[in-house]
Chains A and B, each alone.
Chain A
Amino acid sequence: MTQPLERNGPPRLALAHVSKSFPGVKANEDISLSVRPGEIHALLGENGAGKSTLVKIIYGVQQADEGSIAWDGQQVSIPSPKAARRLGIGMVFQHFSLFDAMTVIENIALGLDEAVDRDELKRRVAAVLDSYSLPLDPEREVHTLSVGERQRIEIVRCLLQKPKLLIMDEPTSVLTPQEVERLFETLRQIAGQGCAILYISHKLHEIKALCDSATILRGGRVVATCDPKAETTQRMAELMIGAELRQIEHSAGAGAGAVRLSVAGLSLAGEPPFGTDLKQVGFEARAGEILGIAGVAGNGQAELLTALSGERLAERNDAILLDGKPIGQIGAGPRRALGLACVPEERNGHAAVPDFSLADNSVLTARHRLPLAPFGFISQSDVKRFSDAVIKRFDVRTTGTSALARSLSGGNLQKFIMGREIGQQPSVLVVSQPTWGVDAGAAAAIRQELVDLAAKGSAVVVISQDLDELLELADRLCVINEGRLSVPRPIASLSIKEIGLMMGGVHGTAPGSGAAAHA
């Protein structure tokens, strides 16, 4: 029963001229926005545009330096998240705070401000699940749940408090298309009952599909407030990044080259406690092509990357062939020397050392293919020259090669890492989530470099949860689900719906898939 938006009366939340500075950066500057009851309001912006800071101010995690907040027409101050919850603000964070080894109901109980009797809580949770027809078993342990189900726990947590404003921070980044649809239905129902929703995202088509209005942030300021249904996605994207979008240029006739990377029967036990086992993974990547590997987070992507990079060794040497040479049981350094470069998903602490300078981070992986450390002595001048070249070619915004990796924004560090690997001219590049958390401008540049690398005769394997990215980049696509990899198919022969079903574990023709239901 959707109610019409309450056009009259005070807005549920109104920010007026809110500013917030951190040492060296103005995160928010003179931001005003208002959300009415029942409205789904998008907060749109690139990484670093100030969305997170603004939301933290609304949720009481941080305090604004200037400006005021009005709640149902009353001036309020929100000194803490607890105060925010008391007002009726609920928030679902991008990264869930759940205990994997506990049940759904135990996790919900831990998140409540007041102690609630267990039976009473069960009854209330059941009521919420029922009224929003959310499928979720309160007695399941969290580590057995999909990401979409985990998100539902967080939503139920908020709904128990009967919120008047629900904040959703990048809620769809790890969901399958089907799970996104399901989430949108739930959100529309919540809004229909008069709850305001602040929806944070940079996915434009989702905002068009879901939201009634949008505030676009760039560089900490509001650049536009618009009706997303009336705007084109192209126009909103340009407002968001402040420049015209670059289109990826594919060169013709790619993907017909020789097999460069061949994986067959690769099995590997997941790392305890909640890792996913790789089961008989096999694929080939050819010179000149980009092979996409789609899948929902936690289905073996991390294990696949460490198995390919050599951080963990395969059981058989011939499980992985690089240009025909078996490398399954040789380590990460020698593999790189032979021409296999890998970029893991996690930048800080895996692909790069946050407390090292960029120059030192070059040494981490580039010393095998480039003469950066003859006889074990690191040549600082050669390292600096290589790092400078990467910074220049990939337009890394930094103070120089001596800047600490941790001082760079996520997008800039990712550009540096991609540049470090591509700069070594690998014959095969395997990269996981190449543009995760990277702003649209940098993402386009990184994707272009991947296309160019393939065009020069390398094989590129992209593991990503971002379907749009894979559809844009890949020549062939396969899906990883519970540690199994589907047979790669040309991208033209696949529909989004098909891919979505495969990501959710419905392989259709896969025999014996029932046995894999419990990993």
Chain B
Amino acid sequence: MLEWRRRREPSTLMLGLSPLIAIGLTMLIGMLVFTAMGYDGFHAVRDIFLTPFLEPQRWPDLGVKAAPLVMIALGLAIGFRANVWNIGAEGQYVMGAIAGTGVALATHGMSGWWILPAMALGGIVGGMAWAAMPALLRVKLQVSEILTSLMLTYVAVQVLYFLVRGPWKDPEGFNFPQTRMFTADQTLPIVIPESLVHLGIPLALVIAVIAWLLMEKTTAGYAVKVVGLAPAAARHGGFNADTVTWATLLASGGLAGLAGLFEAAGPFGQLTPQFPTGYGFTAIIVAFLGRLNPIGIVFGGIVLAATYVGGEIAQTTVRLPQAATGMFQALLLFMLLATDVLVRFRIGWRGRTA
């Protein structure tokens, strides 16, 4: 009979392999489910997971979708390492976009190189402010940041709806609920001419490298890890858990806010009610797929970006509903959590010894 056996030490092989196993299982189960529902399951899975990588014309779109996912996931992963569970990155993402857009509207009609950095700063501050509330509530009143950050997401979305339908509505927009279009000085520059590849994509990679250095090489990263793994040892070593809670929530909020501003000043070019696309939630999957490692998160971001791009492809080729993308993403998270057991356990036959 099969049984689980505890490993003496966590398997480093499985640490790297289990996300790949999870992706494989997601593809297999997805194929079976959609075949059973009467779709062409094989083609659906191929179009979602492989076509975006096989067709070079899809790559820029992959980068555009991966960049915000990676940026948000980097911040979340740092918090998760410290047992700080910011589930409300979507709200910080929206708030960052709102604050940055506020700068854009205030600078309407002006020109200069400083406008975009000012908007980026606005985005960071907006995201941080939204994450500061869960931080304050957790540190002062021991309120779970899981609940507060999640609930604040819906508040942020309502603020967005209010602004685009009210005070920030484009006066020349034929009464559509949207802000003014950003001007050239307010838009992210394109780094590869004639493509969608904007400055946010290389910046996401730079931020990933900085996050990696921070986590692996500095006492700040050490503090985050030790607070997450052994709070009593952290206190013994002179690390302050409250400081780490503040720092990780502000960092993840700031990065989510910056990602939101990049999305507004990049692909969207304005704020509309369609702005919240769930990147803040999908980034949680990216963080786990990347094993909370900044470099792993870059790859995780690309895989999840593929499900968006591929989901659109599969909508036209095999007429998969749009909700299928979300289903695949959820299935992937489920499989990730399930295959995680392989790191600490292995499968053996009962009655036989190793």
Q: Is the CB of A332 within 8 A of B233?
A: no
Question: Given the complex of chains A and B, what is the CA–CA distance between A368 and B237 in angstroms?
Answer: 9
Is B338 positioned at the interface, with any CB of A under 8 Å from its CB?
no
Known contacts: A21-B353, A65-B353. The answer to whether A376 contacts B218 by CB under 8 A is yes
Contact indicator per residue, chain A 443-487, by CB within 8 Å of chain B (1) or not (0): 000000000000000000000000000000000000000000000
Is A309 positioned at the interface, with any CB of B under 8 Å from its CB?
yes
Q: Is the CB of B219 within 8 A of A364?
A: no
Q: Is the CB of A23 within 8 A of B354?
A: yes
Q: Select A404's contact among B9, B219, B222, B235, beta carbons within 8 Å.
A: B9
Q: Is the CB of A23 within 8 A of B218?
A: no
Is B220 positioned at the interface, with any CB of A under 8 Å from its CB?
yes
Is B17 positioned at the interface, with any CB of A under 8 Å from its CB?
no
Q: Is the CB of B229 within 8 A of A355?
A: yes
Chain A: minimal CB distance from B220 (Å): 6
Chain B: minimal CB distance from A378 (Å): 6
Which of chain A's residues have a CB closer than 8 A to the CB of B9?
404, 406-407
Question: Given the complex of chains A and B, what is the CA–CA distance between A377 and B240 in angstroms?
Answer: 18
Chain B: minimal CB distance from A358 (Å): 14
Question: Given the complex of chains A and B, what is the CA–CA distance between A333 and B223 in angstroms?
Answer: 13
Which of chain A's residues have a CB closer than 8 A to the CB of B205?
none
Is A238 positioned at the interface, with any CB of B under 8 Å from its CB?
no
Q: Is the CB of A376 within 8 A of B235?
A: no
Question: Given the complex of chains A and B, what is the CA–CA distance between A482 and B105 in angstroms?
Answer: 66
Q: Is the CB of A332 within 8 A of B230?
A: no
Known contacts: A364-B236, A368-B238. The answer to whether A353 contacts B219 by CB under 8 A is no
Known contacts: A311-B235, A365-B237. The answer to whether A378 contacts B222 by CB under 8 A is yes
Which of chain A's residues have a CB closer than 8 A to the CB of B229?
353-356
Is A346 positioned at the interface, with any CB of B under 8 Å from its CB?
yes
Closest partner residue, chain B, to A361 (CB atom): B233
Q: Is the CB of B219 within 8 A of A378?
A: yes
Is A350 positioned at the interface, with any CB of B under 8 Å from its CB?
yes
Q: Is the CB of B219 within 8 A of A349?
A: no
Which of chain B's residues have a CB closer than 8 A to the CB of A350?
230, 232-233, 236
Q: Select A336's contact among B217, B220, B238, B354, beta carbons within 8 Å.
A: B238
Is A351 positioned at the interface, with any CB of B under 8 Å from its CB?
yes
Q: Is the CB of A353 within 8 A of B218?
A: no
Q: Is the CB of A24 within 8 A of B220?
A: no
Known contacts: A333-B238, A365-B237. The answer to whether A377 contacts B230 by CB under 8 A is no
Which of chain A's residues have a CB closer than 8 A to the CB of B139?
none
Chain A: minimal CB distance from B198 (Å): 32
Which of chain A's residues have a CB closer than 8 A to the CB of B236?
309, 311, 332, 342, 344, 350-351, 364-365
Which of chain A's residues have a CB closer than 8 A to the CB of B220?
376
Q: Which size bracket describes the interface of B in this complex?
A: 20 to 34
Closest partner residue, chain B, to A63 (CB atom): B351
Chain B: minimal CB distance from A404 (Å): 6
Chain B: minimal CB distance from A389 (Å): 20
Is A352 positioned at the interface, with any CB of B under 8 Å from its CB?
yes
Question: Given the complex of chains A and B, what is the CA–CA distance between A373 and B216 in angstroms?
Answer: 12
Known contacts: A368-B238, A407-B8. The answer to whether A353 contacts B353 by CB under 8 A is no
Is A39 positioned at the interface, with any CB of B under 8 Å from its CB?
no
Is A331 positioned at the interface, with any CB of B under 8 Å from its CB?
yes
Question: Given the complex of chains A and B, what is the CA–CA distance between A350 and B230 in angstroms?
Answer: 7
Chain A: minimal CB distance from B289 (Å): 21
Is B226 positioned at the interface, with any CB of A under 8 Å from its CB?
yes
- A315-352 contacts to B, CB under 8 A, are 331-334, 336, 342, 344, 346, 349-352
Closest partner residue, chain A, to B348 (CB atom): A23
Q: Is the CB of A378 within 8 A of B218?
A: yes
Closest partner residue, chain B, to A343 (CB atom): B236
Question: Given the complex of chains A and B, what is the CA–CA distance between A261 and B233 in angstroms?
Answer: 23
Question: Given the complex of chains A and B, what is the CA–CA distance between A351 and B219 in angstroms?
Answer: 18
Q: Is the CB of A353 within 8 A of B226?
A: yes
Closest partner residue, chain A, to B354 (CB atom): A23
Q: Is the CB of B232 within 8 A of A364?
A: no
Question: Given the complex of chains A and B, what is the CA–CA distance between A378 and B353 in angstroms?
Answer: 42
Contact indicator per residue, chain B 294-308, by CB within 8 Å of chain A (1) or not (0): 000000000000000
Q: Is the CB of B217 within 8 A of A377?
A: yes
Contact indicator per residue, chain B 219-252, by CB within 8 Å of chain A (1) or not (0): 1101001100110110111101000000000000
Question: Given the complex of chains A and B, what is the CA–CA distance between A21 and B219 in angstroms?
Answer: 41
Is A367 positioned at the interface, with any CB of B under 8 Å from its CB?
yes
Which of chain B's residues have a CB closer than 8 A to the CB of A353?
226, 229-230, 233
Which of chain B's residues have a CB closer than 8 A to the CB of A331?
238, 240
Question: Given the complex of chains A and B, what is the CA–CA distance between A376 and B220 in angstroms?
Answer: 7
Closest partner residue, chain B, to A368 (CB atom): B238
Question: Given the complex of chains A and B, what is the CA–CA distance between A355 and B218 in angstroms?
Answer: 18
Chain A: minimal CB distance from B215 (Å): 11
- A364-417 contacts to B, CB under 8 A, are 364-365, 367-368, 373, 376-378, 404, 406-407
Which of chain A's residues have a CB closer than 8 A to the CB of B230?
349-350, 353-355
A-B contact pairs, 12 of them (CB 8 A): A332-B238, A334-B238, A349-B232, A351-B236, A352-B233, A354-B229, A356-B225, A376-B219, A377-B218, A404-B9, A407-B8, A407-B9
